[in-house]
Amino acid sequence: MGYRYITDDQYNRLVDFKGAREYHLKKDRAKKDKRMSLSEAVGQFVQDGDILAETGFSYVRSPIQSYFEIIRQGKKNLVSIGSPMSNTSYLMSLGLVNAIHLSYIGVEMRGNDKNFARAIKTGMAEIVSIWSHGAMGLGFKAAQLGTPFVASKQLLGSDMIKQNPYIKVIDNPLNTKEDPVCLIPALFPDVCIIHVQRADRFGNAVIEGPAINDIALAAACRKVIITAERIVPEMTIRDASDAAIPFWYVDAVVDLPYGALPGCMPGYYYWSREWWEWLVRICTPKQEAVEEFFQEWVHETKDQYEFIDKLGGIRFIDHARRLMEAAQANIDDSQVSFAYQEVIPKRD
Amino acid sequence: MSNVAPANPLEMLAYNIALEIEDDQIVYVGTGLPMVGAMLAKLTHAPNITMVYESGGQDPIAGDMPWSVGCPFTFRKSPMSMEMSISFGQSAIGYVDIAFQGGAQIDMYGNVNTSVIGEYGEGLKAILPGSGGGNDIGSLTQKSVLVGLMTPDRFPAKVDFVTTPGWLDGGDSRVKAGLMGGPTAVVTQVGVFDFEPESKRMRIKSLNPGMTVEIAQMCAAFELLVPDNVKVADAPSDEVLTILREQVDPRKVFIKMPGM
């Protein structure tokens, strides 16, 4: 296929409908207590060579503390997919991910991601296929719906068509008039970690706020780890009948308060914008700076509580909670200020 | 004499974005200046617009400036949020009126590049973030408005990579590709541009105060079409500027000129 890193098996497994079905058929169906530690869950269910799907929205309800555990455990040869997939940036520059299915890796109005650019330019990682958010989302949704592909009106006419070997443009065979459509295959990554507000010990999981692609990904992925701000009694979820993900999709449940830090968690805490500014503006231009940054914030940081200590401890976390409550209009806005000190007060 | 300072180029850009929005519309908003423009529209001539976001937030109540498209301000007290694929789906089935997007390159037919400068592989010059929701919004929404700072580098005759199709090669090429809707306007610091209905080439619609056809032409690497009468846009009133500065973006996150 002319790729440097991705193996034929990794390439094909993403769209292997039958293979994913076989895998799901063999999964343990027992409704049992699946709670374990984060290091056990990552150790057992994220394997070298896996296709890892990013969840949440880059730094909103994303399992960032779990990505840090993946870094600590030194997983390798991972293939990354997701829409968006901004955490893949540092997973690439730290050498864990070397092939990606690209939708978006960036930091929005904070400019281009130099980590990502360097990883591709220096050949540390390769882009296997290119997607839009919506097109990739349709691939995950197709998997959840149990349909081999969907026909979309996205991607038509774009140059992404030429950079994506998985998709195909045809004339809609059900329409008598000319009607080009883009066929998008059902996408089946190997593993995803989904951080939720609450779950029970079996894996029934509740998502507050935008679910992004996570409901579809829970169905599509061969292996699913749920990390939760709170583990609640099963009856709490039964009473509200609000689970988005059923327990039988789920392999491991991790009680992980603050699991989305340094990102934000709806209902719980606002993100550490300073941490992201520091990473994006100060560190990403230099490979050594990125490595030092993750040495300090991941390798030399045992868990999320030590991470909070480094961010400022109780003062940081109390402020982050109040900011989130104000952002969600649950307390008076005038109680807090959303102003913050940018590391470099400049947009590039 | 007014004691309100005249609009700077970013404020003028935000104002022109606001004017593209009509009351009662469903508006697909990104972050940055389009958000500022949409919030300004809502506080002035278009109080009944509904804002929707690709990350899934629908119809949030007003709040501070979002830090990201996924920021809690994009789903602040939202009656509901949608999964991402469904959020884009509503553009395709005709429930979204207008969307905004920017890009590293915008060409004479309104094609947008947010992927790569040069080309992937040997000819790589710069890697950009990729499509994100840009392709979806631009492919599916009835009207899309392109937003950018205009320089010859950023406005080439042809983009290096079509991430989001505009009118492709002009004429009926967009329709033949199977796409719906299309770009209707381009808003820059120089003025507002539209697309000539037959050729679909970019055309000057109105210039900001102080701008000339010559200046506009110097900011693009292709020939802009010039109508017989080039309108000069009205500067925003003191009242509108005051709302922009004091209510929409009081911390001047997006409307402050860099280096000032």
What is the model's pLDDT at position B31? 74
What is the model's pLDDT at position B258? 75
pTM over 0.80: yes
Q: Is A112 on the interface with B (CB under 8 A)?
A: yes
Q: Locate the chain A residue with the closest alpha carbon to B167.
A: A157
Q: Is B65 on the interface with A (CB under 8 A)?
A: yes
Q: Which of A81, A105, A109, A333 to mutate to test binding with chain B, by most B CBs within 10 Å of its CB?
A: A109
Q: Which of B84, B114, B158 to mutate to test binding with chain A, by most A CBs within 10 Å of its CB?
A: B84
The closest alpha carbon to A51, from A105, A86, A98, belongs to: A98
Distance CA B101, CA B116 (A): 17
Q: How many CB pairs under 8 A join A and B?
A: 197
Q: Which of B83, B139, B173 sits opposite A215 (nearest CB)?
A: B83
Q: Do A210 and B54 touch (CB under 8 A)?
A: no
Among A residues 150-189, those touching chain B with beta carbons less than 8 Å apart: 153-160, 163, 169, 178-181
Q: Which of B32, B77, B136 sits opposite A329 (nearest CB)?
A: B77
Counting residues of chain B whose pLDDT is more than 90, the rounded percentage is: 83
| Length of chain B measured in residues | 260
Burial label, A345 (beta-carbon count in 10 A; 0-12, 13-18, 19+): exposed
For tokens 């994913």, name the residue: A20
Contacts of A339 in chain B (CB under 8 A): 251
Q: Locate the chain A residue with the closest alpha carbon to B255.
A: A347
Q: Locate the chain A residue with the closest alpha carbon to B160.
A: A159
Distance CA B146, CA B155 (A): 12
**pLDDT range class, residue B113, cuts 50, 70, 90:** very high
> Phi and psi dihedrals of A289, rounded to 5?
-65, -40
Contacts of B68 in chain A (CB under 8 A): 57-60, 108
**pLDDT tens for each residue of B206-227:** 999 999 999 999 999 999 999 9
Q: Is B56 on the interface with A (CB under 8 A)?
A: yes
Contacts of A163 in chain B (CB under 8 A): 120
Q: What single string gives the DSSP state of each residue in B45-109?
A: T-TT-EEE-TTSEESPPP-SPPSSTTSGGGGTT-SEE--HHHHHHHHHTT---EEEEE-SEE-TT
For tokens 């709040």, name the residue: B63
Q: Do A212 and B83 touch (CB under 8 A)?
A: yes
Contacts of A181 in chain B (CB under 8 A): 178
**Beta-carbon contacts of residue A230 (< 8 Å; ≥ 6 apart):** A197, A198, A255, A257
Q: Do A328 and B72 touch (CB under 8 A)?
A: yes
pLDDT tens string, chain A, 348 residues long: the values are: 589 999 999 999 999 999 999 999 999 999 999 999 999 999 999 999 999 999 999 999 999 999 999 999 999 999 999 999 999 999 999 999 999 999 999 877 676 788 899 999 999 999 999 999 999 999 999 999 999 999 999 999 999 999 999 999 999 999 989 999 999 999 999 999 999 999 999 999 999 999 999 999 999 999 999 999 999 999 999 999 999 999 999 999 999 999 999 999 999 999 998 898 888 888 888 899 999 999 999 999 999 999 999 999 999 999 999 999 999 999 998 889 888 766 654 443
Q: Is B149 on the interface with A (CB under 8 A)?
A: no
Q: Is B99 on the interface with A (CB under 8 A)?
A: no
Task: Please tell me the class of the A8-150+187-255 domain.
Answer: alpha beta
Distance CA B211, CA B207 (A): 6
Distance CA A41, CA A66 (A): 9
Q: Which of A57, A100, A342 to mutate to test binding with chain B, by most B CBs within 10 Å of its CB?
A: A57
**Of the residues B54, B83, B196, B239, which is catalytic?**
B54
Summary count for chain B: helices (H), strands (E): 7, 14
CA distances from B4 to B7, B10, B237 (A): 9, 16, 9
Cα angle vertex A254, ends B55, A218, to 5°?
A: 45
* Domain residue ranges in chain B: 9-248
SS (H, E, C) A69-135: HHHHCCCCCEEEECCCCCCHHHHHHCCCEEEEEECCCCCHHHCCCHHHHHHHHCCCCEEEEECCHHH
CA dihedral B103, B106, B110, B114 (to 10 degrees): -40
CA distance B155 to chain A (A): 18
SS3 assignment, position B140: helix
For tokens 């590049």, name the residue: B113
Is domain B9-248 annotated with CATH 3.30.450.20?
no
Q: Do B31 and A158 touch (CB under 8 A)?
A: no
Distance CA A143, CA A216 (A): 7
What is the model's pLDDT at position B259? 65
Angle between helices B9-20 and B33-43 (to 10 degrees): 60
SS3 assignment, position A307: helix
Contact (Cβ atoms closer than 8 angstroms) between residue A89 and residue A125: no
CA distance A31 to chain B (A): 27
Q: Which of A59, A117, A154 sits opposite B136 (nearest CB)?
A: A154
What is the model's pLDDT at position B123? 87
pLDDT reading at B120 higher than 70: yes
Distance CA A209, CA A213 (A): 12
Q: Is B60 on the interface with A (CB under 8 A)?
A: no
- For the record, the structure tokens of A185 come out as 């295959």
Distance CA B138, CA B28 (A): 11
Residue with more model confidence, B64 or B181: B181
**pLDDT tens for each residue of B70-96:** 889 999 999 999 999 999 999 999 999
CA distances from A131 to A308, A347, B174 (A): 35, 26, 19
Kindly calculate the radius of gyration of chain B based on its CA atoms and give it in whole angstroms.
18
CA distance A40 to chain B (A): 30
For tokens 């883009």, name the residue: A182
Q: Is B55 on the interface with A (CB under 8 A)?
A: yes
Contact (Cβ atoms closer than 8 angstroms) between residue B128 and residue B117: yes
H/E run at residue A206:
strand A205-206
What is the model's pLDDT at position A1? 55
Q: Do A180 and B130 touch (CB under 8 A)?
A: no
DSSP bridge partners of A52 = A80, A191
Is B11 a catalytic site residue? no
- For the record, the structure tokens of A272 come out as 């550490």
Q: Locate the chain B residue with the closest alpha carbon to A217.
A: B83
* Domain residue ranges in chain A: 8-150+187-255, 273-335
SS3 assignment, position B215: helix
